[in-house]
Structure 1
Amino acid sequence: MNLKDIDNVFFIGIGGIGMSALARYFKYVDKNVMGYDKAQSPITDELIESEIFVHFKDEVYLIPDLFKNPENTLVVYTPAVPDSHSQLQYFKRNGFEVKKRSEVLGIITKDTFCFAVAGTHGKTTTSCILAHLLKETGTPLVAFLGGISEDFNSNFVLEGTSHAVVEADEFDRSFLQLSPNVACVTSMDADHLDIYGTKEELHKSFQEFVAKVKPGGQLFVRNGLPLNGYTYGIDDNSDYRIENISIERGTYIFDLITPAEVVRQVRFNKPGRHNLLNGLAAFAMAMQAGSPPHRLAEALGTFKGVQRRFSYQIKKSDFVFIDDYAHHPTEIIAVYDAIREMHPGEEVTAIFQPHLFSRTQDFGDDFAKSLSKFDIIFLLEIYPAREEPIQGITSKWLLDKIENPRKKLISKSELIDEIKQSKTGVLVTMGAGDIGLEVSKIKKELAYAS
């Protein structure tokens, strides 16, 4: 498909973080862009403000005549949309070019020098750091990010077209549509078992992905993963590694060792060893664009962060409120460890919204173990996203597995009162559902109360 022949692009699921980045791209390159989403959100509000029309009813009559010409209209949809969707069925029946988001990303980036970040955890933060490093060192780039970068205040970056930064998403095997020049794999923990069935099948898919790296390209893998590439890690024998870590006023200071040289006294402001690894992976990838290591190290020190990735909402001497996207047991443990490292001795209250019935069922025992580490645990009901309920799988089912007497199942309407009564030194909200919409309300109430 030649995108030059396309005048109109219609998105089904335009409010998704990855879909909206693509919508912004096509708007920027002067295509007519509009789309559907099932609910209004801050992302759809921003799209509308940028003159991208969005409607919220699955009705064919809402598709304008301009977008009903199969010869010059591309339809992009997310795998989260069911096949029964009326508008999707209309486009499929009438001979339109209908493609998944990942296919379109592959088309856009195939003629660029493509950096692809894969892994069951860490994709968004690593991609955002990489985009920041490349921009700060003068590399022309376009970036499609899975979160809102605080450095760009967007999930879409356009600073040129010669280089591309994309998240290589394993869900629905989407990353197999990419052919990167440089790739990394941050992690391969079991996830999306509703798609893969077993951890072994998931690993096979990652093997297929790394085989997509172009001849002469580079692959970076976290030390310990069963893949062949340059390794990166902390205090080990990796090709790229971090050593001599210290913490000064919430900032990591460390030495960064590459196969060619050592960069000393590097600074990085995002808490958590998992974020240090994300920064290291981004650094190693950015070196492949020819950027000098000392310039990249300086840029690491100015990285601001990603919304909902260990984001400080309130940071006082006697109280801290952190919000994070963590929705997998491994991610919850990483958040816990980061809090304990940066705020030792403080009592911690965790509010968690499970995401997907299938994920809750698949990892129930692991969720319980990771959540039991916190001093106080509040659970919200499971956010279903694309799924129908699974009999017997509820937040009460998960709560009963948590071995901690200070636990409670609460509703969103009870959040503020329960938080105020807990009176702990650190509050953390976690989850990939709509819990993120509660953060500003919590922050406002707590700021007012203080």
Structure 2
Amino acid sequence: MLGNQKKIHFIGIGGIGMSGMAELLNNLGHIITGSDLSDSDRIQHLKEIGLDISIGHNINNINNHDLVVFSSAVKLENPEIIESKRKNIPVIKRAEMLGELLKVKPISIAVAGTHGKTTTSSMLNSILTRSDHKPTLIVGGIVQGLLANSILGDGDTIIVEADEYDRTLLSLRASMSIVTNIDFEHSDCYENIESLKETFLSFLNATSFYGINVVCYDDLNVKAIINNIKRPYITYGKSDDCDIRYENPEFSEHKTTFDLVIDHYNHGKCELSVPGEHNILNCLAAVGISKELDISIDLIKEGIKSYKGVKRRFEIKYKTENNITIVDDYAHHPSEVDATINTALAGWSLNNLIVVFQPHLYSRTKEFQKEFSEVLSKADIVILTDIYPAREKKIKGVNSNLILDKIVGSKSFLVKKDEVAKKISSICSNDDMIIVMGAGDIRNITDDIYNEIIDKK
């Protein structure tokens, strides 16, 4: 695998998925270079470990490379892609490289699903690490405790996050696979929910015939395809029909407890240090793979308890003296926003729940405007910013007002991003929780919010 491709260039290396692969290949002994349009924390990290990275795309960045890898966000007209092809250097998508990386270890585990991939992957990593499996990991988030999105382990197992965007997951042929849920997303790639379900089904049927699939039986779209899975599978969820399920969930701020039931046998209490019922489901998926690897229940429970979470997944950034809590969260789909809000309401006694939401993509805002407004209406106060476009061009008539105008019951405002901190400091009070949500650049304002609140007091 990649035997002769020693010098590899990554176009779009600052992306969370690309940066993890680049770091892993660097740790495997390859010479890695890269480029991106702008600087970032990930790029600074890669530079600190010795990678040569250029800001901006230029044909001069392509020099004697054996292979060039580009992300889904990079267009084929990119000058570095054109120059690589002119020099007859192989050019592949990130998805193909991820498929090759699965081959670095005898046992490969691919974690897919519209939501929960990063958390489930890193939970499984925690269990395997606790049981001395020494796994290798590549995920789309910065894992707390590791402060990285990839690690190279000495063991026989690799865990990767299998993204459905651009049908990346179809490039993977794993020994074991997980599907956490199937929710319509990426309308620029999928015509409808049926085409998305077909993609996940193809992914599950590409799992090794001697391996296993672990699927969430409580998810209606997973249940709709389950009879067409041609590989062995086990199910998890809350319903009695599941092979692995949970009972008696309890939530107290960051502490989550539940009874773990496998094949109708209650194995007693499990304790998670991350909040929310959705995280119990993520945990059960990790338990399913762990049992297939013959890890004992005691070690599974220890691994679960030691898990510290992922940055930007209900990450508490600050807590003030008057008990105002500021949370940073990656939620950018209605189901994710709903899960995050429900987590706050179930686990904390709050005065007001204030949600700051930056819609991500014009297409997603247009597609889910009604659903966003419904779930945001659960908060006491909602502050919307302008849409973060990411890879998209503006769509005429699509703006944050499409969501704002449909919010019911909550006090709601449309505020420029650089004015959010002042707005919040003027309306927040003791025992409030402020959740900053979005997949764009909204995460950068949590420090400003805290400083404004402190200055006000």
Scaled to the shorter chain, the TM-score interval is over 0.9
Check whether the contact 2:12–2:71 (CA below 8 A) recurs between aligned residues. yes
- Residue type matched to 2:425 in 1? K
Query: What is the deviation of 1:318?
Result: 2.6
Question: Is the aligned partner of 1:73 residue 2:54?
Answer: no
Aligned to 1:38: 37
CA change 1:141–1:200 in 2 (3 A) is same
Conservation of the 8 A alpha-carbon contact between 2:98 and 2:172: yes
User: Does the aligned pair in 2 maintain the 1:77–1:100 contact within 8 Å?
Assistant: yes
Which shows bigger deviation, 200-209 or 215-224? 215-224
Confirm or deny that 1:199 pairs with 2:206: no
Candidates 71, 82, 85, aligned match of 2:75: 82
Query: Contact 2:358–2:437 at 8 Å: present in 1 too?
Result: yes
**Who is 1:279 aligned against?**
283
Write the mapping of 1:247-326 to structure 2, written as runs, cut at 5 A.
Answer: 247=251, 250-259=254-263, 261-315=265-319, 318-326=323-331
**What is aligned with 2:164?**
170
Q: In the alignment, which of 368, 383, 406 is matched to residue 411 of structure 2? A: 406
Q: Which residue among 120, 124, 144 is the counterpart of 1:150? A: 144
How many positions carry a matched residue from both structures?
443
Shift of 1:261: 4.6
With normalisation by structure 2, the TM-score equals 0.93
Match of 2:101 among 95, 105, 108: 108
RMSD over aligned CA atoms reads: 1.7
Shift in CA distance, 290/172, structure 1 to aligned 2, threshold 3 Å: same
Picking from 347, 362, 368, the partner of 1:363 is 368
Q: Is 1:18 paired with 2:17? A: yes
Q: Which moved more, 1:144-153 or 1:396-405?
A: 396-405
Offset, 1:214: 0.3
For the residues of structure 2 that align with 1:259 and 1:440, how far apart are their CA atoms?
47
Alignment partner, residue 209 of structure 1: 203
State the secondary structure of the residue aligned to 2:268: strand
Q: In 2, distance between residues paired with 1:447 and 1:138?
A: 44
The structural deviation recorded for 1:113 is 0.5
Alpha-carbon contact 2:324-2:433 (below 8 Å) kept: yes
User: Cα deviations across residues 288-314 of structure 1 (Å, max 9, x unaligned)?
Assistant: 222111111111111111000011112
| Corresponding residue of 1:377 | 382
- Say whether the 8 Å CA contact 2:35–2:53 is kept in structure 1: yes
**Mean Cα deviation higher: 239-248 or 177-186:** 239-248
- Structure 1 CA distance, aligned partners of 2:236 and 2:127? 17
TM-aligned CA deviation for residue 196 of structure 1: 0.7
Q: Summarize the Cα distance change of 1:220–1:401 in structure 2 as closer, same or farther, 3 Å threshold.
A: same
Counterpart-to-counterpart distance in 2, 1:112 and 1:39: 37
| Structure 2, gaps ≥5 residues long | 227-232
Q: Structure 2 CA distance, aligned partners of 1:144 and 1:345?
A: 36
* 208-217 or 284-293: bigger deviation: 284-293
The CA deviation at 1:264 is: 1.0
Q: 1:220 corresponds to which residue? A: 214
State the match for 2:421 in structure 1. 416
User: 1:188 matched to which residue of 2?
Assistant: 182
Equivalent residue for 2:27?
Answer: 28
> What letter corresponds to residue 263 of structure 2 in structure 1?
P
How far off its partner does 1:449 sit? 5.0
- Opposite residue 246 of structure 1, the aligned amino acid is E
Q: Which residue does 2:124 correspond to in 1?
A: 130
SS of the equivalent of 1:420 reads helix
Q: Deviations over 1:375-404 (max 9, x none)?
A: 111111111111111111111233222234
Alignment of 1:441 onto 2:436: no
Cα 1:313/1:201, change in 2 over 3 Å: same
Q: Distance in 1 between matches of 2:345 and 2:427?
A: 18
Q: 413-422 or 438-447: which moved more?
A: 438-447
Query: Is the contact between residue 81 and residue 386 of structure 1 (CA under 8 Å) also seen in structure 2?
Result: no
2:343 to 338, 342, 354: 338
**Comparing 126-135 with 439-448, which one deviates more in the overlay?**
439-448
Stretches of structure 1 lacking an aligned partner (at least 5 in a row):
none
Structure 1 equivalent of residue 437 of structure 2: 430
Question: Residue 351 of structure 1 corresponds to which residue in structure 2?
Answer: 356
SS in 2 for 1:196: coil
Tell me what 1:396 maps to.
401
State the Cα distance separating 1:269 from its structure 2 match: 1.5
CA distance in 2, matches of 1:418, 1:381: 15
CA distance in 1 between partners of 2:85 and 2:74 (Å): 14
**How far apart, CA to CA, are the structure 2 residues paired with 1:249 and 1:307?**
17
- Cα–Cα, structure 1 residues 315 and 396, in superposed 2: closer, same or farther, change >3 Å? same
Contact 1:132 1:151 in 2 (8 A): no
Q: Identity over aligned residues, as a percent?
A: 34
Q: CA deviation at 1:82?
A: 1.6
By how many angstroms is 1:405 displaced? Answer: 5.5
Preserved contact between residue 252 and residue 348 of structure 2 (Cα < 8 Å): no
Q: For residue 177 of structure 1, report the CA deviation from its aligned partner.
A: 0.8
Whether the aligned pair in 1 keeps the contact of 2:184 and 2:193 (CA below 8 Å) is yes
2:229 paired residue number: none
Q: SS in structure 2 opposite 1:5?
A: coil
CA distance in 1, matches of 2:152, 2:454: 36
Query: Amino acid of the residue matched to residue 223 of structure 1?
Result: Y
Shift of residue 14 of structure 1? 0.2
Q: Name the amino acid aligned to 1:407.
A: S
Per the TM alignment, residue 249 of structure 1 is displaced from its structure 2 partner at its CA by 6.0
**Separation in 2, partners of 1:26, 1:125:** 23
